[in-house]
Amino acid sequence: MLSENDADGAQGGHAHVPVMLPRVMELLDPALRDRPAVCVDATLGLGGHSAALLAAHPQLTLVGLDRDPQALELAGRRLTAFADRIHLVHAVYDRIADVLADLGLPHADGILFDLGVSSLQLDADERGFSYSRDSDLDMRMDPTQGPTAADVLNTYAPGDLVRILREYGEERFATRIVSAVVKRREREPFVRSADLVELLYAAVPAASRRTGGHPAKRTFQALRIEVNAELEALRGALPAAVSSLPVGGRVVVLAYQSLEDRMVKRELAAGAASRTPVDLPVELPEHAPELRLLTRGAEVATDDEIEDNPRAASVRCRAAERVREATS
Protein backbone atom coordinates (compact mmCIF):
# COMPACT_ATOMS: atom_id res chain seq x y z
CA MET A 1 0.00 0.00 0.00
CA LEU A 2 1.07 3.61 -0.15
CA SER A 3 0.38 7.17 0.81
CA GLU A 4 -1.61 9.40 -1.47
CA ASN A 5 0.68 12.17 -0.30
CA ASP A 6 3.77 10.70 -1.90
CA ALA A 7 2.66 8.23 -4.51
CA ASP A 8 -0.39 9.56 -6.29
CA GLY A 9 -0.66 9.96 -9.95
CA ALA A 10 1.97 8.16 -11.94
CA GLN A 11 2.30 4.42 -12.35
CA GLY A 12 -1.43 3.89 -12.63
CA GLY A 13 -0.69 1.03 -14.97
CA HIS A 14 1.98 -0.63 -12.87
CA ALA A 15 1.49 -4.27 -11.94
CA HIS A 16 0.97 -4.79 -8.23
CA VAL A 17 4.37 -5.16 -6.56
CA PRO A 18 4.44 -5.80 -2.78
CA VAL A 19 6.57 -3.14 -1.11
CA MET A 20 9.79 -4.27 0.63
CA LEU A 21 8.79 -7.90 0.17
CA PRO A 22 12.23 -9.49 0.80
CA ARG A 23 12.71 -7.49 4.01
CA VAL A 24 9.18 -8.25 5.23
CA MET A 25 9.78 -11.95 4.64
CA GLU A 26 13.12 -11.77 6.47
CA LEU A 27 11.64 -10.00 9.48
CA LEU A 28 8.70 -12.40 9.85
CA ASP A 29 10.58 -15.61 9.04
CA PRO A 30 11.86 -16.49 12.56
CA ALA A 31 8.32 -16.36 13.92
CA LEU A 32 6.80 -18.51 11.17
CA ARG A 33 9.47 -20.95 10.01
CA ASP A 34 9.23 -24.77 10.16
CA ARG A 35 6.13 -25.12 12.33
CA PRO A 36 2.39 -24.55 12.33
CA ALA A 37 2.05 -20.80 12.71
CA VAL A 38 -0.55 -18.08 12.26
CA CYS A 39 0.12 -14.82 10.46
CA VAL A 40 -2.30 -11.90 10.18
CA ASP A 41 -2.05 -9.75 7.09
CA ALA A 42 -3.96 -6.85 8.60
CA THR A 43 -4.14 -4.96 5.30
CA LEU A 44 -4.61 -7.70 2.73
CA GLY A 45 -4.99 -5.53 -0.36
CA LEU A 46 -4.29 -7.58 -3.46
CA GLY A 47 -2.59 -10.31 -1.41
CA GLY A 48 0.98 -9.94 -2.66
CA HIS A 49 2.67 -10.25 0.72
CA SER A 50 0.26 -13.00 1.77
CA ALA A 51 0.93 -15.09 -1.32
CA ALA A 52 4.67 -14.95 -0.72
CA LEU A 53 4.31 -15.84 2.97
CA LEU A 54 2.04 -18.81 2.24
CA ALA A 55 4.39 -20.12 -0.45
CA ALA A 56 7.42 -19.82 1.83
CA HIS A 57 5.79 -21.44 4.88
CA PRO A 58 3.84 -24.62 4.04
CA GLN A 59 2.47 -24.97 7.59
CA LEU A 60 1.28 -21.38 7.81
CA THR A 61 -2.34 -20.38 8.41
CA LEU A 62 -2.98 -16.87 7.15
CA VAL A 63 -5.70 -14.52 8.32
CA GLY A 64 -6.24 -11.69 5.85
CA LEU A 65 -8.18 -8.60 6.89
CA ASP A 66 -9.43 -5.84 4.63
CA ARG A 67 -12.26 -3.34 4.83
CA ASP A 68 -12.56 -3.29 1.02
CA PRO A 69 -14.85 -6.07 -0.29
CA GLN A 70 -13.32 -5.81 -3.76
CA ALA A 71 -9.84 -6.39 -2.33
CA LEU A 72 -11.04 -9.48 -0.49
CA GLU A 73 -12.55 -10.85 -3.69
CA LEU A 74 -9.45 -10.24 -5.82
CA ALA A 75 -7.05 -11.48 -3.14
CA GLY A 76 -9.18 -14.59 -2.71
CA ARG A 77 -8.72 -15.39 -6.39
CA ARG A 78 -4.99 -14.82 -6.13
CA LEU A 79 -4.72 -17.11 -3.10
CA THR A 80 -6.90 -19.93 -4.47
CA ALA A 81 -4.01 -22.40 -4.32
CA PHE A 82 -3.83 -21.85 -0.54
CA ALA A 83 -7.58 -21.93 0.10
CA ASP A 84 -7.30 -24.55 2.84
CA ARG A 85 -4.88 -22.37 4.82
CA ILE A 86 -6.48 -18.93 4.65
CA HIS A 87 -9.25 -17.03 6.37
CA LEU A 88 -10.21 -13.79 4.61
CA VAL A 89 -12.28 -11.45 6.75
CA HIS A 90 -14.10 -8.22 5.98
CA ALA A 91 -12.84 -6.11 8.87
CA VAL A 92 -10.78 -3.06 9.78
CA TYR A 93 -7.43 -3.89 11.35
CA ASP A 94 -8.33 -2.60 14.80
CA ARG A 95 -10.47 -5.76 15.11
CA ILE A 96 -7.48 -8.12 15.04
CA ALA A 97 -8.18 -9.55 18.50
CA ASP A 98 -11.88 -10.05 17.76
CA VAL A 99 -11.18 -11.78 14.44
CA LEU A 100 -8.66 -14.17 16.01
CA ALA A 101 -11.12 -15.00 18.78
CA ASP A 102 -13.94 -15.59 16.29
CA LEU A 103 -11.70 -18.02 14.39
CA GLY A 104 -10.69 -19.83 17.57
CA LEU A 105 -7.05 -18.86 17.18
CA PRO A 106 -5.28 -18.10 20.49
CA HIS A 107 -2.67 -15.77 19.02
CA ALA A 108 -0.88 -14.62 15.88
CA ASP A 109 2.80 -15.49 15.50
CA GLY A 110 3.28 -12.75 12.91
CA ILE A 111 1.34 -9.61 12.04
CA LEU A 112 1.87 -7.37 9.02
CA PHE A 113 0.48 -3.88 8.47
CA ASP A 114 0.92 -2.28 5.04
CA LEU A 115 -0.76 1.04 5.68
CA GLY A 116 -2.23 3.70 3.43
CA VAL A 117 -4.32 3.45 0.30
CA SER A 118 -3.86 0.28 -1.72
CA SER A 119 -2.79 0.06 -5.34
CA LEU A 120 -6.23 -1.33 -6.13
CA GLN A 121 -7.96 1.71 -4.65
CA LEU A 122 -5.59 4.30 -6.06
CA ASP A 123 -5.67 2.90 -9.59
CA ALA A 124 -9.46 2.57 -9.76
CA ASP A 125 -10.68 5.82 -11.29
CA GLU A 126 -14.17 5.46 -9.84
CA ARG A 127 -12.95 5.31 -6.22
CA GLY A 128 -11.91 8.97 -6.06
CA PHE A 129 -8.58 8.54 -4.27
CA SER A 130 -6.43 10.05 -7.01
CA TYR A 131 -6.20 13.76 -7.69
CA SER A 132 -4.75 13.10 -11.14
CA ARG A 133 -7.96 11.58 -12.56
CA ASP A 134 -11.47 13.02 -12.37
CA SER A 135 -14.03 10.88 -10.54
CA ASP A 136 -16.69 11.04 -7.87
CA LEU A 137 -15.31 12.36 -4.57
CA ASP A 138 -15.73 9.10 -2.68
CA MET A 139 -12.45 7.90 -1.03
CA ARG A 140 -14.11 5.19 1.09
CA MET A 141 -11.94 2.12 1.48
CA ASP A 142 -15.16 0.27 2.26
CA PRO A 143 -17.59 1.67 -0.32
CA THR A 144 -20.53 -0.01 1.43
CA GLN A 145 -20.64 2.32 4.42
CA GLY A 146 -19.84 5.71 5.84
CA PRO A 147 -19.67 9.27 4.50
CA THR A 148 -17.79 10.11 1.31
CA ALA A 149 -15.19 12.82 0.81
CA ALA A 150 -17.90 14.89 -0.86
CA ASP A 151 -20.06 14.54 2.26
CA VAL A 152 -17.17 15.83 4.39
CA LEU A 153 -16.57 18.83 2.13
CA ASN A 154 -20.24 19.69 1.82
CA THR A 155 -21.41 19.25 5.42
CA TYR A 156 -18.56 19.71 7.90
CA ALA A 157 -18.30 22.97 9.81
CA PRO A 158 -15.47 25.22 8.58
CA GLY A 159 -13.55 24.82 11.83
CA ASP A 160 -13.63 21.04 11.54
CA LEU A 161 -12.42 21.21 7.94
CA VAL A 162 -9.50 23.44 8.95
CA ARG A 163 -8.57 21.02 11.74
CA ILE A 164 -8.68 18.04 9.38
CA LEU A 165 -6.49 19.69 6.77
CA ARG A 166 -3.98 20.83 9.38
CA GLU A 167 -3.81 17.63 11.40
CA TYR A 168 -4.16 14.99 8.72
CA GLY A 169 -2.71 16.80 5.73
CA GLU A 170 -0.25 19.10 7.49
CA GLU A 171 -1.57 21.74 5.12
CA ARG A 172 -0.34 25.23 6.04
CA PHE A 173 -2.92 26.90 3.79
CA ALA A 174 -5.83 25.14 5.49
CA THR A 175 -7.74 28.30 6.41
CA ARG A 176 -7.38 29.71 2.91
CA ILE A 177 -8.52 26.45 1.32
CA VAL A 178 -11.52 26.02 3.62
CA SER A 179 -12.64 29.59 2.94
CA ALA A 180 -12.70 28.77 -0.77
CA VAL A 181 -14.47 25.45 -0.11
CA VAL A 182 -17.23 27.15 1.90
CA LYS A 183 -17.82 29.77 -0.80
CA ARG A 184 -17.97 27.09 -3.48
CA ARG A 185 -20.33 24.75 -1.61
CA GLU A 186 -22.75 27.61 -0.96
CA ARG A 187 -23.14 27.94 -4.72
CA GLU A 188 -22.94 24.27 -5.64
CA PRO A 189 -22.03 21.13 -3.67
CA PHE A 190 -18.87 19.21 -4.42
CA VAL A 191 -19.37 16.03 -6.44
CA ARG A 192 -16.31 15.45 -8.63
CA SER A 193 -12.61 15.42 -7.76
CA ALA A 194 -11.73 17.72 -10.66
CA ASP A 195 -13.80 20.49 -9.07
CA LEU A 196 -11.79 20.22 -5.85
CA VAL A 197 -8.47 20.07 -7.70
CA GLU A 198 -9.38 23.21 -9.64
CA LEU A 199 -10.23 25.00 -6.40
CA LEU A 200 -6.94 23.93 -4.80
CA TYR A 201 -4.92 25.19 -7.73
CA ALA A 202 -6.53 28.59 -7.22
CA ALA A 203 -6.30 28.59 -3.40
CA VAL A 204 -2.69 27.43 -2.93
CA PRO A 205 -0.17 30.19 -3.77
CA ALA A 206 1.85 29.69 -6.93
CA ALA A 207 5.14 29.89 -5.03
CA SER A 208 4.12 26.94 -2.87
CA ARG A 209 3.03 24.95 -5.91
CA ARG A 210 6.49 25.35 -7.40
CA THR A 211 8.27 23.94 -4.34
CA GLY A 212 5.70 21.90 -2.45
CA GLY A 213 4.48 19.44 -5.04
CA HIS A 214 0.94 19.08 -6.30
CA PRO A 215 -1.39 21.50 -4.49
CA ALA A 216 -4.00 18.78 -3.98
CA LYS A 217 -1.87 16.11 -2.35
CA ARG A 218 -2.24 17.24 1.29
CA THR A 219 -5.95 17.94 1.07
CA PHE A 220 -6.67 14.60 -0.60
CA GLN A 221 -4.63 12.80 2.05
CA ALA A 222 -6.47 14.60 4.84
CA LEU A 223 -9.89 13.82 3.40
CA ARG A 224 -9.00 10.16 2.90
CA ILE A 225 -7.79 9.82 6.49
CA GLU A 226 -10.95 11.46 7.82
CA VAL A 227 -13.34 9.45 5.64
CA ASN A 228 -11.77 6.15 6.69
CA ALA A 229 -10.90 7.08 10.30
CA GLU A 230 -7.45 5.72 9.55
CA LEU A 231 -5.56 7.15 12.52
CA GLU A 232 -8.28 6.15 14.97
CA ALA A 233 -8.17 2.59 13.64
CA LEU A 234 -4.37 2.48 13.81
CA ARG A 235 -4.39 3.86 17.35
CA GLY A 236 -6.44 0.87 18.44
CA ALA A 237 -4.83 -1.67 16.13
CA LEU A 238 -1.23 -1.32 17.31
CA PRO A 239 -1.77 -2.32 20.97
CA ALA A 240 -4.24 -5.00 19.86
CA ALA A 241 -1.59 -6.45 17.57
CA VAL A 242 1.10 -6.48 20.24
CA SER A 243 -1.30 -8.10 22.70
CA SER A 244 -2.08 -10.81 20.14
CA LEU A 245 1.56 -11.90 19.85
CA PRO A 246 3.06 -14.70 21.94
CA VAL A 247 6.67 -14.49 23.12
CA GLY A 248 8.71 -14.80 19.93
CA GLY A 249 5.92 -13.34 17.79
CA ARG A 250 6.72 -10.45 15.48
CA VAL A 251 4.93 -7.41 14.08
CA VAL A 252 6.04 -5.54 10.94
CA VAL A 253 4.58 -2.18 9.92
CA LEU A 254 5.01 -0.40 6.60
CA ALA A 255 3.95 3.26 6.82
CA TYR A 256 3.97 5.84 4.06
CA GLN A 257 3.30 9.16 5.74
CA SER A 258 4.66 10.84 8.84
CA LEU A 259 1.49 10.79 10.95
CA GLU A 260 1.22 7.00 10.82
CA ASP A 261 4.95 6.43 11.18
CA ARG A 262 5.09 8.57 14.32
CA MET A 263 2.27 6.56 15.88
CA VAL A 264 4.04 3.29 15.06
CA LYS A 265 7.34 4.60 16.40
CA ARG A 266 5.78 5.68 19.71
CA GLU A 267 3.87 2.43 20.23
CA LEU A 268 6.82 0.13 19.53
CA ALA A 269 9.26 2.30 21.47
CA ALA A 270 6.95 2.27 24.50
CA GLY A 271 6.78 -1.51 24.40
CA ALA A 272 10.55 -1.77 24.11
CA ALA A 273 11.22 0.52 27.08
CA SER A 274 11.79 -0.61 30.66
CA ARG A 275 9.28 0.60 33.23
CA THR A 276 11.63 -0.03 36.16
CA PRO A 277 12.07 3.17 38.20
CA VAL A 278 15.30 4.90 37.23
CA ASP A 279 16.61 4.97 40.81
CA LEU A 280 16.55 1.16 41.17
CA PRO A 281 19.88 -0.59 40.50
CA VAL A 282 18.35 -3.74 38.95
CA GLU A 283 15.68 -4.44 36.35
CA LEU A 284 12.39 -5.55 37.85
CA PRO A 285 11.16 -8.56 35.83
CA GLU A 286 7.58 -7.33 35.80
CA HIS A 287 8.77 -3.97 34.46
CA ALA A 288 11.11 -5.32 31.77
CA PRO A 289 10.42 -4.44 28.12
CA GLU A 290 7.73 -6.47 26.37
CA LEU A 291 9.20 -5.84 22.91
CA ARG A 292 12.57 -5.93 21.21
CA LEU A 293 12.97 -3.57 18.28
CA LEU A 294 14.12 -5.34 15.12
CA THR A 295 14.88 -2.26 13.04
CA ARG A 296 17.18 0.59 13.88
CA GLY A 297 14.84 3.50 13.42
CA ALA A 298 12.75 3.26 10.27
CA GLU A 299 14.12 1.30 7.33
CA VAL A 300 13.50 2.50 3.79
CA ALA A 301 13.31 0.82 0.41
CA THR A 302 16.49 0.39 -1.59
CA ASP A 303 17.23 2.54 -4.63
CA ASP A 304 16.80 -0.52 -6.84
CA GLU A 305 13.36 -1.26 -5.42
CA ILE A 306 12.24 2.34 -5.81
CA GLU A 307 13.41 2.26 -9.43
CA ASP A 308 11.39 -0.91 -10.03
CA ASN A 309 8.43 0.18 -7.90
CA PRO A 310 8.16 3.96 -7.45
CA ARG A 311 5.37 3.52 -4.95
CA ALA A 312 7.99 2.30 -2.45
CA ALA A 313 9.69 5.70 -2.36
CA SER A 314 8.00 6.92 0.82
CA VAL A 315 7.81 3.69 2.81
CA ARG A 316 9.11 3.47 6.37
CA CYS A 317 9.42 -0.02 7.88
CA ARG A 318 9.49 -0.73 11.61
CA ALA A 319 9.33 -4.11 13.33
CA ALA A 320 9.44 -5.61 16.81
CA GLU A 321 9.46 -9.01 18.53
CA ARG A 322 7.51 -9.92 21.68
CA VAL A 323 10.04 -10.92 24.36
CA ARG A 324 7.89 -10.98 27.48
CA GLU A 325 4.29 -11.67 28.36
CA ALA A 326 2.32 -8.76 29.73
CA THR A 327 1.82 -8.66 33.50
CA SER A 328 -1.28 -7.38 35.21
Residue 145 annotated as binding site? no
Task: Give every strand in the sheet of 37-41, ordered side by side.
Answer: 86-90, 60-66, 37-41, 110-114, 250-255, 316-322, 291-293
93 is in an annotated binding site: yes
DSSP 8-state class, residue 255? E
Q: What is the 3-state secondary structure (H, E, C) of 4-23?
A: HHHHCCCCCCCCCCCCCHHH
How far apart, in whole angstroms, are the C-alpha atoms of residue 20 and residue 31? 18
* Cα end-to-end span (Å), the chain: 36
Q: Are 194 and 184 in contact (CB under 8 A)?
A: no
Query: What's the CA gap between 32 and 312, in Å, rounded?
Result: 25
47 assigned binding-site residue: yes
Asked if 22 and 92 count as a contact pair (C-beta separation under 8 A), the reply is no
**C-alpha atoms less than 13 angstroms from C-alpha of 191 in its C-beta half-sphere:** 3
Strand partners, 60: 37
DSSP 160-225: HHHHHHHHHH--TTHHHHHHHHHHHHHHS---BHHHHHHHHHHHS-HHHHHHSS-TTHHHHHHHHH
Residue 258 is given by DSSP the state H
Report helix, strand and coil shares of the chain as percent, to nearest 5.
Answer: 50, 15, 40
Please give the Cα distance from 230 to 276 (Å, whole number): 33
The beta strand positions in the chain, using DSSP E, are 37-41, 60-66, 86-90, 110-114, 250-255, 291-293, 316-322
Tell me the backbone φ, ψ of residue 114, rounded to 5 degrees. Answer: -120, 90
14 is in an annotated binding site: no
The reply to whether 66 sits in an annotated binding site is yes
CB proximity list for 262: less than 8 A, separation 6 or greater: none
Would you say 41 is a known binding-site residue? no
Q: Which residues are annotated as a binding site?
A: 47-49, 66, 93, 114, 121
Q: Which residues are annotated as a binding site for S-adenosyl-L-methionine?
A: 47-49, 66, 93, 114, 121
